[in-house]
Copies of this chain bind each other. A is one copy, B any other.
Amino acid sequence: MPDESGTIPVHREPWAGQGLPPTLTWDERDGGVLRLLDQTLLPHRVEFRLCRTADDVWHAIRVLCVRGAPAIGVAAAYGLCLAARPLTHLRRPEFLAHLRAAADYLSTARPTAVNLSWALRRMLAHAEHLSGADGAALVPGLLAEAHGIARQDAEVCRRIGQIGESLIPDSAGVLTHCNAGALATVAHGTALALLYEAHRQGRSFRVFADETRPLLQGARLTAFELAASGINVTVLCDGAAASLMQAGRIQLVVVGADRIAANGDTANKIGTLALAVAARQFSIPFYVVAPLSTLDLSLASGRDIPIEQRAEDELRQVGGIDIMSAAIKCYNPAFDVTPAGLITALVTETGIARPVNARTIAHLVAAAATSDTRS
């Protein structure tokens, strides 16, 4: 297992394209390569990190080269394909046992985003239904399933945008936090999918993006992708959002999610709870936007969601420079949990839950199951 200091060799490739670079792509060359846009380098350098092993993918997820709950799930699915490649000689039972071990390993890269374990469980379940006596016979089917998860992610995000775009009034000021955009998914994004769709329809609005300390995903990623897409964006400190709301300049808040409990309590990037509280204070709608794969119905409430604590140095250092003595303690949770009661509505690919509670969420899930059966 690689450690967090990046001791495994990292292979990179510059991007030669225009506009918004793809978050992740699969390349069949050299026996299969997962090409991840290295989001730790944005917006300064647009480079891909080439992953050829499950270790490479684990490490890329851990250091946030790829981040955003949906994108992490897709990356992990491809990571499992990379783990399977050297196992083609194994007979089916041994192959499946190794695959389960690789999935367990990949699922440890980050603890909060449930899409990670969701994608891995889906891959394992698919492997068990595939016919084939050995690894060589099973690997193509696994890769097809990973492609399916990636295609589905883009399609789900497109539908989320269509379902939610009407929530963006013309001339609105829209506040968002962290990055729940194209860079957090295969394409379109979750919270930002609403904005892309409203923009495509010619509606005019203005986005305010929290910079999102400590890792500045809002300043580095959301500003980058919205500006690249021609959407009016302004960055602010996380602490300044309440003053914009107080001044009447924000008409709605849209955020993504990393895990949603059965009752609608939502884990998302640290700072989200403060926004939800302020939105309630100033009577502003607060929307969580996420695919159904972000739901974890096994958890009754947000109290049960594991919260990743990240390294104190993420606060101590800014741009690689110490801003505090190493003797100063830091508190650095990656996520917080917003109670469902503070969420105006949950927007998913199958519809909108409003109000957000166990009953409306169960209803959305049931509707999705029915539509899956029909299709």
A242→B324 contact, CB < 8 A: no
Q: Tally A residues with Cβ within 8 Å of B.
A: 55
Q: How far is the CB of A251 from chain B (nearest CB, A)?
A: 16
CB of A327 within 8 A of CB of B227, answer: yes
The number of times this chain is found in the oligomer is 2
Determine which residue in A220, A235, A325 has the highest number of CB atoms from chain B within 10 A of its CB, and name it: A235
- What's the minimum C-beta distance from A360 to chain B, rounded to whole angstroms? 23
- On chain B, the residues within 8 Å of A281 by CB distance are 277, 280-281
- Asked if A125 is at the interface (CB within 8 A of a chain B CB), the reply is no
Q: Which residue of B lies closest to A314 (CB)?
A: B237
Spell out A's residues near B (CB within 8 Å).
Answer: 43-44, 177, 208, 210-214, 216, 219-220, 223-224, 227, 233-244, 246, 270-274, 277-278, 280-281, 315, 318-325, 327-333, 336-337
A–B Cβ pairs within 8 angstroms, 26 of them: A43-B324, A43-B325, A177-B239, A213-B239, A219-B315, A220-B323, A223-B328, A234-B330, A236-B330, A236-B331, A237-B238, A237-B270, A238-B238, A239-B336, A243-B273, A243-B336, A243-B337, A246-B337, A274-B274, A274-B277, A277-B277, A277-B278, A277-B281, A278-B278, A281-B281, A321-B321
Cβ-defined contact, A211 with B213, below 8 A: yes
